Amino acid sequence: MILRNYKKGNCQAIFWNGKKKFVYKIPLSRKYDNNTNSISLNPKDIYKYFREEWRYQKNTIRFNNSIRILDRLEKISKNGLEEFFPETTIISVNRNEHIVGDKKYYYSGNMIKQELIDDFFDNTVSLQSFNWKEILNIEVELWKYGVGIGAPADTWGPKNWGKTNSNAVKLVDTSHLTENFKLVSKMLHPDIIEYRKKKLLSFNTVHSPHDIDQYFEYMSSFLNLENLHNKWGTYLN
């Protein structure tokens, strides 16, 4: 299977095989990141280089953690991974060929194979274009398995969610899955809510203040510390 570079996330490189049905996700490393700095003898460049190296190492750590959580959810959830995500499977490859630009690379290890989502949400998607409760249902259900989301955008949406070909809203991004209760709790803090509100308000040609206030009022009526404490890990007891 020959994969070509599709796009780059914050911590994952995303490829496809040209058939527009699935994408393949692996950790973002230097060879897949065309915005990195080349090393020189300049002390500032050396500092940037090693700072980037640490970021790439964290990408691998985060990816392996996501793989572990996905594998656990696949085994214990009622309806497998499709309960939360677009069609998603973990595959293992050995020296799989990847093409980035005009360069050829090889990757060995775990890979996330996921349904390609054409209707992928970003910060500009209309808040009136999807059912808010679908996001809530998935997050609260994840909590019951002792899994949450460790990033503001994914927690509050709509960024990094999307509609599948069957028109169901699912969590597309798997890179911020966590079993860290304190981190999940932090994402529910009022400061994080205000941060996300301001982010969406910055796209004022898309979102009205009324819609944003209504959206976050509804979301926070379910995504709150009391509900988190009540639901966290209940399926594991």
The reported pLDDT for the residue numbered 38 is 53
Torsion (CA) 70, 76, 79, 85 in degrees, nearest 10? -20
Angle at the Cα of 74 (from 150 to 108), degrees rounded to 5? 80
Contact 207, 201 (CB under 8 A): yes
Q: Is the dihedral of CA 38, 41, 44, 47 positive or negative?
A: positive
Contact 25, 62 (CB under 8 A): no
Q: Which amino acid is at 226?
A: E
Torsion (CA) 60, 186, 202, 58 in degrees, nearest 10? -10
Read off the pTM. Answer: 0.89
Cα 30 from Cα 133, distance rounded (Å): 38
The reported pLDDT for the residue numbered 78 is 87
Q: Is the dihedral of CA 210, 213, 219, 222 positive or negative?
A: negative
Give me the DSSP letters along 71-137: HHHHHHSTTGGGGTSSSEEEEEEEEEEEEETTEEEEEEEEEEEEE--SEE--TTS-TTSS-HHHHHH
Q: In tens digits, what is the pLDDT along the chain, a chain of 237 residues?
A: 788 777 777 888 899 887 778 999 999 887 777 554 455 556 666 556 656 777 788 889 999 999 999 999 999 998 899 999 999 999 999 998 888 878 888 899 999 999 999 999 999 999 999 999 999 999 999 999 999 999 999 999 999 999 998 999 999 999 999 999 999 999 999 999 999 999 999 987 889 999 999 999 999 999 999 999 999 999 997
